[in-house]
Amino acid sequence: MTDLHTDRLLLRRWQESDLEPWAAMNADPEVRQHLGEPLTRERSDESVARFEAAFDRRGYGWWAVEVRGTGEFVGFAGLDDIDYEAPFTGVEIGWRLARSAWGHGYATEAARAVLAFGFDTLELPEILAVTTATNLRSQAVMTRLGMTRDPAGDFDDLDAPEGPLRPNVLFRLARPATS
């Protein structure tokens, strides 16, 4: 499995040492604001097991993100198959960072590396991004990445409770043409 490197970040497979800070992120109501209820430690650990199984099965998924200068785990970024009820199919990009990592440009930096992998290595024709309509920070990252909002793909996440987590927006980015 390929690690991805940026100037400041390493995107790599998950390690045992990631479980504690990952659980702390998943228990943080601010980190989970656009995702739903905080997760228990057990559910958080189970998510890492699913991430690793997906990597083994298909060769991509959610990379753990660490700061290269310090080795600090700060979250995840990666690609996942859309396997939930939505008016579209494809592969989506995503990221989630600890609050201490917000505001440093890490989400955009990690996502650029993930996009390059998706287009150059996997040769995906398009990469999608989905978030709640109220998650303006993630939408700003999507815009910085050159993604375009596709209102025709917006949908209500019927697995989410009534309220701000239900309306979701779709962004798209086509694979750049090669010359």
pLDDT 10s digits, 125-162: 999 999 999 999 999 999 999 999 999 999 998 888 88
Under 8 Å between Cβ of 130 and 92: yes
Chain segment 164-174, per-residue pLDDT in tens:
899 999 999 99
- 179: pLDDT strictly greater than 50: no
Cα(142)–Cα(160) distance, rounded to whole angstroms?
22
Give CA separation, 103 vs 109, 111, 118, 137, in Å.
Answer: 12, 15, 25, 10
Instruction: Give this prediction's pTM.
Output: 0.94
Cα(152)–Cα(107) distance, rounded to whole angstroms?
26
Q: What is the pLDDT of residue 1?
A: 56
